[in-house]
Structure 1
Amino acid sequence: MTTVPASGIAVIIPFYNGSAFLERSLASVLDQSLQADEIIVVNDGSRPEETEWLHKHCEKRGVAVLDKENGGQGSARNAGVAAAKSPYICFLDQDDFFLEHHNRILRDAVPADDQRFGWVYADLYQADAAGQVYKTETVKDRAHHPKKFLVKMLVEDMHILPSAALIDRAAFEAVGGFDTQFRGYEDDDLFTRLFRAGYTNIFVDRAVTVWCVNEGSTSFGIHMARSRLRYCLKLTRALPDVRDLNYMFMRDCIVPRFGKQILRDARRAQRPDHKFYDYRDEIYETAKECFSLMVGNKHVTWGQRRSLKGRWFIVRARRFGLLQALMGRT
């Protein structure tokens, strides 16, 4: 009898009312050229009929299901890791799917002698919801790889998708896993904390996953807008400027990356016909805090400050009316 070598990999799949996609994603995990030792689907508070479907489908496949109350994708991922025993973790979003050699390519890239190993990640295909491919190279030319410079990691989208990564379990647990306040930006936050804790990373220049873009995903909704505001605040508090080393994080990273987006979201949220309108008060107050921190930073340039103030005036004009905005109402 041929013995199948242990891979040391646990695959965690968060599930939320995803019966339309899970059969495809789960099949891609089961069809790997290097099998995972554990597969755990975490049911993040799905509807009763979806939960029933999930349990029946996974029972047929011999796949474990973990049920929990709804807490978001980060919370579901954390629960999956807590339930797993393997030393390496791979995550898969329910609407994405692995290419055949995902596990093998990432596992083979793990160094044997690096006591500070944190994660290895690779490229991916971009596709529509049906899995029809738009392009076969998504992250390589959109950011620097591997990650070596904090400033570059902050000023640009990191383009590390957990579905195309393998993470050392000990490193993941050491930094506290995903921050569950985020339902968007939780990936950037995790890998930034791993980097700042001194864990190493490796980039493999091969696609291992198909990333399926759905218009109804959190990337285009209130959860992403809310998380963008919260992530901006978290970075501002965690990264004060270091003048002696010329690390002006607010001026060089946070304002260029988030300033326009945050104030654009705040402006749009004041429109009655916009999807953010029901959250206008929350978005306005958090954006106001971000704006105050940005313009109050002494290293922010005159041009940046003028641009931010101009955009904030438009937000206030939309919220209170032009006259009251001119009078300085905030």
Structure 2
Amino acid sequence: MPDTDASVVVPARDEGRRLERTLDSLAAQRFAGRLEVVVVTSGETTESVARGHSIVDQVLVDEQRAGPGPARNWGATVADGDVVLFTDADTVVPPTWVRRHCRHYVTPDVVGVGGPLRPLESGLRHRACFRVLSDWWYRACWPVGFVQQPGPNCSVRRTAFESVGGFDASLRYLEDTDLSLRLSREGTVVYDHTCPVETSARRQDRIGYARLFLWYLVGYLEYAVPGLSPTRNHFR
């Protein structure tokens, strides 16, 4: 799908200058189609950075600050690309990122694409934990149908995204996993291990890898084990 129009939605809450690095990486994309960038901002410095960058087509000011899911939904609503990609404001994407995602949509059945995460920070601990939790974990789960497009590195076919109603705005976390599983009922969700992005490990530093893993594991089990939690209250 080399000539497809694509839109990138970036939720950016109080990110300030981190957002500038993300936008610089989007400005460096090698993509044959038309690329639109929509930033959903909150915080004066973040808004100023978004409005001052030449790659940004639309800036939406999120006064509700309801979270990344609602912000992504709002951005997708105003974006007009056939393929909508999502990344975060503390993430740097490679120059081939948009092109690599869009190539999968040549296959009509593909409704979503996800890829691995790498840490922006240096250090063996970060590199090893990201490799296990944000790459090998996906490779192991994807073949059994437990697809999990990570929020900083995912894309959707617009028609499928609209069909499933976008991100569930009521979820506090794992909204990207929830979307991926609902999308998988509409068609094929692809994991492209050759398309990594680099994202900040500040959350892992703050909370700790072990605590994060256990927290997410409980949520994952609620989806993976039939009847364990039919109301999915853990996500709320």
Asked if the contact 2:31–2:96 (Cα under 8 Å) also holds between the matched residues in 1, the reply is yes
Is 1:88–2:83 an aligned residue pair? yes
In structure 2, C-alpha distance between the alignment counterparts of 1:61 and 1:191, rounded to whole Å: 28
Match for residue 157 of structure 2? 168
Counterparts of 2:165 and 2:207, CA distance in 1: 24
The structure showing larger relative contact order (alpha-carbon pairs under 8 Å, at least 6 residues apart) is 2
Q: List gaps (5 residues or longer) in structure 2.
A: none
After TM superposition, the structure 1 = structure 2 runs for residues 240-279 of structure 1, keeping only pairs within 5 Å, are: 249-250=226-227
Correspondence 1:200 to 2:180: no
CA 1:109 to 1:216, structure 2 compared with 1: closer, same or farther past 3 Å? closer
Distance apart, 1:11 and its partner CA = 0.4
Distance 1:248 1:92 in 2: 29
Cα distance in 1 for partners of 2:188, 2:46 equals: 39
- Answer yes or no: is 1:120 the counterpart of 2:78: no
Describe the shift of the 1:21–1:199 C-alpha distance in structure 2 as closer, same or farther (beyond 3 A): same
The 5 Å alignment of 1:3-22 reads 6-22=3-19
Percent identity for Structure 1 against Structure 2: 21
- Quick check: which has more Rg, 1 or 2? 1
SS at match of 2:137: coil
d(CA) in 1 for partners of 2:14, 2:98: 26
Q: Is the 1:73–1:183 Cα contact (8 Å) retained in structure 2?
A: no
Q: How does 1:299-318 map to 2 (within 5 A)?
A: none
- CA–CA distance in 1 between the matches of 2:148 and 2:56? 33
* 1:146 shift after superposition: 7.6
| Alpha-carbon separation, structure 1, partners of 2:205 and 2:173 | 10
Correspondent of 1:104 among 99, 106, 119: 99
Distance in 2 between residues matched to 1:185 and 1:48, nearest whole Å:
28
- The residue that corresponds to 1:319 in the other structure is none
Aligned residue runs from structure 1 range 6-155, under 5 A = 6-34=3-31, 37-43=35-41, 46-55=42-51, 57-58=52-53, 60-69=54-63, 70-112=65-107, 114=108, 116-128=109-121, 134=127, 137=131, 139-144=134-139, 147-150=142-145, 153=146
Distance 2:207 2:157 in 1: 26
- TM-score w.r.t. the length of structure 2 is 0.77
Offset at 1:100? Answer: 1.7
Deviations 1:136-195 (A, max 9, x none): 845442234683534xx2xxxx55213322211111111110111223110111111112
Alpha-carbon shift at residue 129 of structure 1 (Å): 8.8
Counterpart Cα distance in 2 of 1:217 and 1:38: 33
| Unaligned stretches of 5+ residues in structure 1 | 240-246, 259-285, 291-330
Paired residues of 1:10 and 1:40 also in contact (CA < 8 A):
yes
Count matched residues.
222
Given that 1:124 and 1:209 are in contact with CA atoms closer than 8 Å, whether structure 2 keeps it comes out as yes
- The answer as to whether partners of 2:114 and 2:190 remain within 8 angstroms in 1 is yes
**Alpha-carbon distance in structure 1 between the residues aligned to 2:160 and 2:103:** 18
Contact 1:122–1:208 at 8 Å: present in 2 too?
yes
| Structure 1 position 68, deviation (Å) | 2.6
1:315 matched to which residue of 2? none
Q: Distance in 2 between matches of 1:100 and 1:166?
A: 16
Q: Deviations over 1:189-223 (max 9, x none)?
A: 1111112x232122223133112211389977xxx
Q: Per the alignment, in what secondary structure is the counterpart of residue 249 of structure 1?
A: coil
- Letter aligned with residue 61 of structure 2: D
Name the SS of the counterpart of 1:215 in structure 2.
Answer: helix
Cα 1:175–1:212 change in 2 (3 A) is same
Change in CA separation of 1:50 and 1:33 when aligned onto 2, cut-off 3 Å: closer
Deviates further, 205-214 or 46-55: 46-55
Q: 1:215 to 1:37 in 2, by over 3 A?
A: closer
